[in-house]
Chains A and B, each alone.
Chain A
């Protein structure tokens, strides 16, 4: 019985939210607005529950001997700093919370992602091989975009940016459009399966 309730709830919510798109009515609009509000609260509570689980797992790491406890302590210290600053001094302009975000968190995040610039260059040198006709096309397209979308391309010839524009507007767009249509149809089918109870992976392991 407990397994069937979520499936029924999912079906009712799904059918209602799909149907309300076509129904113009005050009470239906009100209920639709309420469900949207519930989705936001559920999302935030799921996020907080996840954060609690992460904190608990880091605490377990600290209780275990080994180098992991140092790193887990650093992670928990980071959480504590942001929580104390945020709830203690607020999150408005000029607050220590925003200072930490601007001066420490955001630059660190950018730095981690900027590592990819090095790895993408290394991968391009080692792995980007034009062995077959398809890979020749791939490499050529990449080279044209690499040079064409920076001022160098315009300096080589005015044809370069025009070629880039055509590549993006016709063949590349055609492939992306086909992928979009395919994904749209696939996701619609999956959504129908979820509402009909045929797809239950969101229930976890059943």
Chain B
């Protein structure tokens, strides 16, 4: 069974890589197959591991509190009926409102206050000063409520250089990530499929 799986996987892998030569029906077919498998996977996992134990079984055992999420979840399916779409906004409102509410204290603490604290914690060292200048000038670069004139102009320019270093570093790491994915696939083709190397 695994041998069949290996061959099938190798063939669809080559079908996907055929896109590097040019777009073709084999690539498109593989793409649509992947789409279907991914949707099917999400459907099964969501129902079996979330809806069934989290909603259906508790309702079946008489947990009345689960009627509210049943109604809210059910209203999401009303979106499929064009005339009744408006009712599906209620569960959306619960979801978006609750998400917005919990995010306010979390983001203010974790992304703003703690980060500002870390920036100002170590200003006695050279690296700390360079860090502080970088944070301030980069924030000033994104301050578009005033024209970048006078002192704002060179400050924003310095911020640009800091961002170029960040983007360059991120590019380097992005290349690393993508190449690793390719290494994985080539290892499969040469090892598991063609047996040229021992995986």
| A contacts B: CB pair < 8 Å | yes
- Chain A residues engaging chain B, CB cutoff 8 angstroms: 2-3, 5-7, 9-19, 21-22, 34-49, 51-56, 70-72, 74-83, 86-87, 91, 97, 99-101, 103-105, 107-118, 120-121, 124, 133-135, 137-146, 149-150, 166-185, 187-188, 190-192, 194-195, 202-204
Q: Which residues, 158 to 185 on B, are CB-close (under 8 Å) to A?
A: 159-176, 178-179, 181-182, 184-185
Bound-complex Cα distance A46 to B134 (A): 42
Task: Collect the chain B residues with CB atoms within 8 Å of residue A202's CB.
Answer: 92-93, 96
Task: Collect the chain A residues with CB atoms within 8 Å of residue B43's CB.
Answer: 48, 51, 79, 82-83, 86
Bound-complex Cα distance A190 to B97 (A): 11
Taking a contact as CB atoms under 8 Å apart, the answer to whether A91 and B168 are in contact is no
Task: Collect the chain A residues with CB atoms within 8 Å of residue B72's CB.
Answer: 38, 41-42, 45
Taking a contact as CB atoms under 8 Å apart, the answer to whether B16 and A115 are in contact is yes
Can you list 21 pairs linking A and B with CB atoms under 8 Å apart? A6-B90, A18-B101, A36-B98, A39-B99, A42-B92, A51-B43, A52-B77, A71-B29, A74-B33, A77-B33, A78-B32, A108-B37, A114-B181, A114-B184, A120-B174, A138-B165, A170-B127, A178-B135, A178-B138, A180-B115, A203-B92
Query: Is B195 located at the chain interface by the 8 A CB criterion?
Result: no
Taking a contact as CB atoms under 8 Å apart, the answer to whether B139 and A182 are in contact is yes
Partner of A82, one of B40, B138, B175: B40
Partner of A10, one of B45, B48, B97, B136: B97
Taking a contact as CB atoms under 8 Å apart, the answer to whether B185 and A110 are in contact is yes
Task: Collect the chain B residues with CB atoms within 8 Å of residue A177's CB.
Answer: 115, 118-119, 131, 134-135
Residue among B35, B99, B100, B174 with the most chain A CB within 10 A? B100
Instruction: Output the least CB separation between A146 and chain B (Å).
Output: 5
> Closest residue to A147 on the B side, CB-wise?
B172
- Chain B residues engaging chain A, CB cutoff 8 angstroms: 1-2, 5-6, 8-9, 12-13, 16-17, 19-20, 28-51, 54-55, 65, 68-70, 72-74, 76-77, 79-80, 85-87, 89-108, 110-112, 115-116, 118-119, 127, 130-136, 138-139, 142, 159-176, 178-179, 181-182, 184-185, 188
A38 touching B51 in the complex, CB below 8 Å, given contacts A76-B36, A137-B168:
no
Residue among A6, A97, A166, A167 with the most chain B CB within 10 A? A6
Bound-complex Cα distance A41 to B187 (A): 40
Interface of B is mostly: helix
Residue among B19, B36, B106 with the most chain A CB within 10 A? B36
Taking a contact as CB atoms under 8 Å apart, the answer to whether A142 and B36 are in contact is no
Interface of A is mostly: helix
Taking a contact as CB atoms under 8 Å apart, the answer to whether A117 and B44 are in contact is no
Taking a contact as CB atoms under 8 Å apart, the answer to whether B76 and A42 are in contact is yes
Bound-complex Cα distance A35 to B45 (A): 22
Task: Collect the chain B residues with CB atoms within 8 Å of residue A13's CB.
Answer: 93-94, 97-98, 101
Taking a contact as CB atoms under 8 Å apart, the answer to whether B40 and A78 are in contact is yes
Task: Collect the chain A residues with CB atoms within 8 Å of residue B130's CB.
Answer: 170-171, 174
Task: Collect the chain B residues with CB atoms within 8 Å of residue A9's CB.
Answer: 90, 93-94, 97
A184 touching B54 in the complex, CB below 8 Å, given contacts A103-B2, A137-B168, A178-B159:
no
